[in-house]
Structure 1
Amino acid sequence: MIKRLLLFLFPLLGFSQGYTSYFTGNPTNITTTTQYGVCLMGGSTENDNAMIWLLNKANGGDVVVLRSTGSNGYNDYLYSDLGVTVNSVETLVITSVAGATNPYVLDKVSKAEMIWFAGGDQWNYISYFKDNALEDLLNNHVNVKHAPIGGTSAGMAILGGRYFSAQNGTVTSSQAMANPYAYNVTLGGYSPITLPSTTFLNVPFLGNVITDTHYDNPDRRGRHATFIARYMADYAASVYGIACNEYVAVCIGSDGIAHVYGDYPNYQEFAYFIQPHCSYTISIENCQSGQPLTWNFGGSALKVYKVPGTMNGTNYFQVNNWEFGTHSGGSWEDWGILNGVLNVTTSGIPINCILGNSDFENKELNLFPNPVDNNLYVEGLFNFEFEIYDSLGKNVISGKSVVNEIEVSNLVKGIYLLKITSEGKTIIKKFIKQ
């Protein structure tokens, strides 16, 4: 009876200091040799196989669950339900900066062999954990100890080096695309010279990634693409995206391979790996405050690898080499946003940035004159198909040239993209109509 009373009182004592502790397991700390891994979960029920993958990397050590609301729902699940031996599981419900920096909390986090972020409100995590000793310990955990870390929903949202902070609440896809600078499109993780750094966690392979969760309920593709567009427009930063449907998990090991867990084909469970198309090097067509976003470039502004999640995580995407890495089990999509509306098309051709640096582009396909008045010539190429897009991503001319000449006299002054297709190869060139 005395033991039970002490366990009951302990959370109340901790709560008065900005945190509550729920402990399960051996109270004597142990130290094990860990392996790095990060697990990103989509926000609903945890995928057991993905969690087992992450727990095994703790090598029987101590697990700390960090959350800002809730209680001990993870303790038994991580300690005994999955069949992986760990020394202890302790949930720390942190409700303030004082709780985050309490010596007891810092000590527990410093000794953890695995850290897991629960769902909730990511702004709580950012405002409580960022720019203090707890942030330092979290970054030390993954970059010095090389220990496993993961999170679901809000816990996944904060693991990217770029992040949607939700400081002013959530935002829907339609709201974000209608106005990419709306009051609730709040982003962090950049370090412009003129502003203080807003970086938070520095997780290997995720430094230039923004994540999103609950991707299928509701549809968050449009807002995620808008976040990426903002980084490109504001800071000329080419940012990648990783997203999960609600019951999907992405697990990334030290090899940089992201394996996708889910229950496909029984359910439509996918992860998405999103990158700006490498062929489009000019600015986004229209990303301005109060105006609908247009980031289209013929419907292929973004190249997306859509990966079904399987029970054993066999399908994967290489995130330590986005453009040239390997991938398996998924399919490519093209995404474009035109006047605040997202369009998605299936693409049978994967992204090919090697072509963008080839002799085919740099030597054989020079455009002249550029700027041009009436006739644009493509040096060294004959008999090709072409499409021309204006600065809003609208296709204004399409055709086939049996010589190396394209008439552009009817175009108004401005910047255009010329898409040339020949012998199965596609190249994008920029020109100016004067």
Structure 2
Amino acid sequence: MKKITFLCLLSLQISFAQNYTEYHTGSITDVTTNQEPGVCLMGGAGEQEDAMIWFLNKANGGDVVVLRASGSDGYNDYFYTDLAADLNTPINSVTTFVINNVDGAIDPYVLQKVANAEAIWFAGGDQYDYVSYFKDNAMEDALNAFVNTKQGVIGGLSAGLAILGSNYFSAQYGTLSNAVALSNPYHPRVAIGTNDFLDIPYLENVITDSHYDDPDRRARHSVMMARIATDNTTRSFGIACNEYTAVCVEPDGKAYVYGEYPAYDEFAYFVQANCTTNFQPETCVSGSPLTWDRNGEAIKVYKVPGTESGVNYFDLSDWETGSGGEWKDWSIDNGVFTSVESINPECSSLAVQEVSLTNIRVYPNPVVESIQIESEVEFNAIQLLNIAGSTISVKLQPDHTINMSSLSSGVYFLRLKSDNMTQVFRLVKK
């Protein structure tokens, strides 16, 4: 009888193992803490310790879930024991799930652990495993609820970083080199997912990349952004890290960069299509080399050194303000990538007015709930744009107010048109 019981238990364990494997360290009792939101993007060769401490402190002594599709329990002792002395409050537990298929991802026990977590970390590996197992099912819903409803901290390294933007390189057909991408932006290996997976604050219209020490990364990242700008007719954005560099995004949109500069060349890159009227590539078609030049200013890049104190930053709420970095222009002409020194983008197409004009006044700014418009002239059209240049649907009320309470925090542009003029106001939504 004992032998039969053992065989039954062994069979049950193997059945579970076919879908997922669980490794648990710490308390088996779930706790609820005052966790804080945030996003941690890590470059890929190894963990940046100061950024990991930032990430774990956001859990405020709660439970951490690590999701991966290969490997084992490497994060358990590292999070629970090795970093414990550096945390404000030691974490309650670490649970790693090695997910082997969709059934493992949507297992009710796994989903409940994700829902109960205060921090979620994606390991490296193959990002197409994450896309295949987690997208368009209950795990996708659980992850988006964790970020946007529970407002827990989320992060990832390498492949785990690659899936966090609303646009992402899926690697469905394998890795992608500069040469292949530049020669044909619609090559099957340029496999991009768009707005169909994770919805993370400040990563809208963003595609991430890692291992940026490798010179075979920046051009291919630019090609992906060219595809997004072409296919979606919207400005595209990117965030990338060198291998031992990390970007930690606070709830106000400030992205702090961690690394060991100047001892090592550890940088993060904040990449955007230039904010001009003609921001799209000149030539982005199947079978031909990419040209995205725009007088050598197609892509504006803020390169930020990462330090152990994480003092340098870039503000994702406006994609213009930063500290400690330097601006560069990237461009591509007939498949040839170029990088030169530059200055910050001026967004001339938006004709932004920072001060009130004599005939139109828009207030308050920053805005929390609604804005009031006072005008000495009649205007016949209103348009509200987000930082990517996409139009947001708004309605002018009879009392000349516009309700903005449902909009996400960030920068918007209000364009007012009359018969004789167009005036644009830069608004900050808190």
Deviation at 1:10, TM superposition (A): 11
Report what 2:399 is aligned to.
none
Partner of residue 181 from structure 1, selected from 174, 186, 201: 186
Q: Deviations over 1:148-201 (max 9, x none)?
A: 0000000000000000111111101121011101111100124xxxxxxxx100
CA–CA distance in structure 1, aligned partners of residues 48 and 290 of structure 2:
35
* Alignment map for 1:18-417 (pairs within 5 Å): 18-83=19-84, 84=87, 85-190=90-195, 199-281=196-278, 283-323=280-320, 326-347=321-342, 349-353=343-347, 356-357=350-351
CA–CA distance in structure 1, aligned partners of residues 107 and 299 of structure 2:
44
CA–CA distance in structure 2, aligned partners of residues 53 and 169 of structure 1:
32
Deviation at 1:317, TM superposition (A): 0.1
CA RMSD of aligned residues (A): 1.8
Q: Which SS does the other structure have where 1:23 is aligned?
A: strand
CA–CA distance in structure 2, aligned partners of residues 286 and 176 of structure 1:
13
If you compute each CA radius of gyration, which structure gives the higher value, 1 or 2? 1
Deviation at 1:26, TM superposition (A): 0.5
CA–CA distance in structure 2, aligned partners of residues 92 and 47 of structure 1:
22
Q: 1:314 to 1:253 in 2, by over 3 A?
A: same
Deviation at 1:297, TM superposition (A): 1.4
Q: 1:9 to 1:73 in 2, by over 3 A?
A: farther
Q: 1:49 to 1:358 in 2, by over 3 A?
A: closer
CA–CA distance in structure 2, aligned partners of residues 36 and 231 of structure 1:
27
Judge conservation of contact 2:43–2:212 (CA < 8 Å) in 1: yes
Judge conservation of contact 1:11–1:20 (CA < 8 Å) in 2: no
TM-score of the superposed pair, with normalisation by structure 2: 0.77
Deviation at 1:217, TM superposition (A): 2.1
Judge conservation of contact 1:180–1:290 (CA < 8 Å) in 2: yes
Deviation at 1:12, TM superposition (A): 4.4
CA–CA distance in structure 2, aligned partners of residues 237 and 27 of structure 1:
47
Q: Deviations over 1:333-356 (max 9, x none)?
A: 000001111100011x21111575
Judge conservation of contact 2:208–2:239 (CA < 8 Å) in 1: yes
Q: Partner letter of residue 82 of structure 1?
A: L
Q: Partner letter of residue 198 of structure 2?
A: L
Judge conservation of contact 2:279–2:298 (CA < 8 Å) in 1: no
CA–CA distance in structure 2, aligned partners of residues 282 and 81 of structure 1:
47
Q: Partner letter of residue 238 of structure 1?
A: R
CA–CA distance in structure 2, aligned partners of residues 60 and 282 of structure 1:
45
Deviation at 1:16, TM superposition (A): 3.4
Judge conservation of contact 1:293–1:338 (CA < 8 Å) in 2: yes
Q: Which SS does the other structure have where 1:74 is aligned?
A: helix
Unaligned ranges ≥5, structure 1: 191-198, 360-434
Aligned residues: 342
Q: Deviations over 1:218-245 (max 9, x none)?
A: 4301000000100111120211000000
CA–CA distance in structure 2, aligned partners of residues 232 and 311 of structure 1:
35
Report what 1:404 is aligned to.
none
Q: Which SS does the other structure have where 2:207 is aligned?
A: strand
CA–CA distance in structure 2, aligned partners of residues 203 and 11 of structure 1:
37
CA–CA distance in structure 2, aligned partners of residues 143 and 10 of structure 1:
39
CA–CA distance in structure 1, aligned partners of residues 18 and 108 of structure 2:
11
Q: 1:55 to 1:286 in 2, by over 3 A?
A: same
Deviation at 1:206, TM superposition (A): 0.5
Q: Partner letter of residue 90 of structure 1?
A: T
Report what 1:193 is aligned to.
none
TM-score of the superposed pair, with normalisation by structure 1: 0.76
Q: Deviations over 1:368-403 (max 9, x none)?
A: xxxxxxxxxxxxxxxxxxxxxxxxxxxxxxxxxxxx
Judge conservation of contact 1:17–1:98 (CA < 8 Å) in 2: no
Q: Deviations over 1:278-321 (max 9, x none)?
A: 12426421111111000011211001000000011000000011
Q: Which SS does the other structure have where 2:114 is aligned?
A: helix
Unaligned ranges ≥5, structure 2: 1-5, 354-430
Q: Partner letter of residue 276 of structure 2?
A: S
Q: 1:218 to 1:350 in 2, by over 3 A?
A: closer
